[in-house]
Structure 1
Amino acid sequence: MGQYTEHWAEYRRGSNRRTLQLLAFVLLLPLIALLGYGVSTVIDGGVQLTAALLLVWLIEFTRRALGASKVPCPRCSTVYMRGRSLVDCPKCGLRMLQDDPT
């Protein structure tokens, strides 16, 4: 077992949990649309209410998606955003999911 095995295992569990939360959050979108349609048939301000709910949904989805891409480095405790081109810690150079630094 490497020096950072437990940290990366916890990161993977958290990453899977955040991915499932994002999927569940995306599934709320049709529910908001149906709610907006139902409310718009009953009251006049239904369209504005739906737009406000969609704006709140968009802001919260963006916040959660950005939070899901953050990676805490176990060596230097730097938090960085992972991506296609950034897989190493920008501060100490530890590769993402690297168990034993060599």
Structure 2
Amino acid sequence: MFRFVSIAIASSLVAMPAIASTQFVAKLKTPVEGKERTTAYKVVWVCENDTCEAYLDRKTATVRVCKKVVKEIGAVSSFGTAEDTLSEDDIASCNEAAK
């Protein structure tokens, strides 16, 4: 019984970071063909058509993070989470770093 409880606790601790992550969505200015995976801001972004998605260990969108992402995925028309997206001015600033 103790072994089962120990394994269950250890498994839940490994899954914790995924629970704390927030889904971020970036709408691309130039759509990609098919489905692509790109690493940006230390996570894998999955891009299909004009949408790229990733789970980040943060709650809010910032221009700093957006700039790091667009260096790898290209210019965006929007960036953020369901609750927090960057303004048009912030997007313009972000896209200065685009590839």
Does the pair score TM above 0.5?
Answer: no
TM-score bracket for the superposition, by shorter chain length: 0.3 to 0.5
Looking at secondary structure, tell me which structure has more strand per residue. Answer: 2
Compare relative contact order (CA 8 Å, sep 6+) and give the higher one, 1 or 2. Answer: 1
With the length of structure 2 as denominator, give the TM-score of the two structures: 0.35
Looking at secondary structure, tell me which structure has more helix per residue. Answer: 1
With the length of structure 1 as denominator, give the TM-score of the two structures: 0.34
> Which of these two proteins has the greater Rg computed from alpha carbons?
1
